[in-house]
Amino acid sequence: MAFQTSYRVRFADVDLAQVVYYPRIFDICHKAMESFFGEGLGLPYRDVLAIDRIGFPTVRAETDFVGPLRYDDLIAIAVQVTKLGEKSLAFLFELRRDQDLLVSARITTVAVDLDRFEAIEIPPKYRQRLMLFVEKKGGSPPTACG
- Tens of pLDDT, residue by residue over 134-146, are 977 644 443 344 4
Question: Stretch 62-83: mean pLDDT, rounded?
Answer: 97
The verdict on residue 28 lying in a domain is: yes
Using one digit for the tens of pLDDT, what is the confidence trace for 3-61?
999 999 999 999 999 999 999 999 999 999 999 999 999 999 999 999 999 999 999 99
Residue 101 belongs to domain with CATH number: 3.10.129.10
Within a domain: 27: yes
Q: Would you call 37 helix, strand, or coil by DSSP?
A: helix
Q: pTM for the complete prediction? A: 0.90
**Residue 33 domain flag:** yes
3-state helix, strand, coil in the chain (%, to 5): 25, 40, 35
